[in-house]
Amino acid sequence: MAGFLIVLLSSVFFCLQNIVVRVLFQEQTILGAFQTGGFVAPTFQNSFLLMFLRMVVVVPLMAAIMPTLHADTWQDFRRLRQQASRPALLRAIAGGGLMFLYLALLYVSIGLIPTGIALTLFFTYPVFTALFAWGWFGARPSPFRWGVMGLILLGSVLTMPHSQPDADSSLWLGVALGIASGVVYALYTVNAQKSFETLHPVPFTWMSFAVALVLSAGSLGVWPVQGAGLAWPELWIGSLISAIATLTGHLLNNFGIRLVGATTASMVGATNPALTVLVAWFAIQETLNGLQVLGIIVVTFSVALLSRDRSLHKQTS
């Protein structure tokens, strides 16, 4: 049960991260009290800028708290320098590359299509996680779990905002990138599960952030943004909030993967679109229609079934 609660809590922080991105791209009314947002246009270059600003805060912040979270952090880093730990080091670096890639794909997707649609497409990743885990670990999902996964995805689709974007090439590119981001994130979670056999989640997560920082900085070198006229104080404040949410969400999710495995964690994490709708309703007054309420109920019921199924397996094993 602890693993489920940890992953669910990580989803709440990911919701906050998604809402901050939405506010930075589009003006919103916060808690019904004041309006803010729309500081940058949702373009390809600005997506990399937001990722870089987030990571440049996350990396030193996590470096400062790592010894508190895991006392043997620096010993783990020293062990990674040994020849015998080369596979673990390569998996950690690969984790950073996958993190950068899935965030880049998701951000560009958000820039091309409505955020709710992009996030719903991204959260098809439990299907891919189950397939990758089946191929990598031989962990074939039971028919019951396939059914629960289908219910979670159905509930997530029901919570999707029902906007009608123009059917042009940018729409289809945004749809493709949204799904692709889910595929890459599925690879990230499965790679993380394998890495946690030899490396603690705390140093693994920090290395992922550090590699993503380097890659996002390199991307800005290739696709620079026009910094003149940007609302830098607001962007830095938003990046700080987003960085804290990102750091907390990834740490909790990685601890959850260590406790319940990548497939189960991904299925619980698929509640994110429904949670995002709830948090967005509270934080920026986005309304809920009947289908979205039904979707939230379906997702909540599905996760409860999944939790009970795992508890029964533990009792009988």
Q: Write down the pTM of the prediction.
A: 0.78
Rounded Cα–Cα distance for residues 116 and 163 (Å): 9
pLDDT of residue 290: 79
pLDDT of residue 65: 86
Nearest to 211 by CA among 48, 290, 95: 95
pLDDT by 10s per residue, the chain, length 317? 677 788 878 878 877 877 787 788 777 777 777 787 778 877 777 888 888 998 998 899 889 888 888 888 889 888 888 888 888 899 999 999 999 998 888 877 876 776 667 777 787 777 787 778 777 777 677 788 788 778 877 876 776 655 555 556 667 787 788 889 988 988 998 898 888 888 888 899 899 999 999 999 998 888 787 766 788 888 889 888 888 888 888 788 778 877 777 667 766 766 666 676 777 777 776 666 777 678 777 776 776 676 556 554 544 44
pLDDT of residue 266: 66
Those residues whose C-beta lies under 8 Å from the C-beta of residue 106, and which sit 6 or more positions away, are: 118, 119, 122, 177, 178, 181
Q: Which two three-digit tokens encode residue 195?
A: 């890495």
**Do residues 160 and 298 lie in contact, with contact meaning Cβ atoms separated by under 8 Å?**
no
Q: Which two three-digit tokens encode residue 241?
A: 């909030």
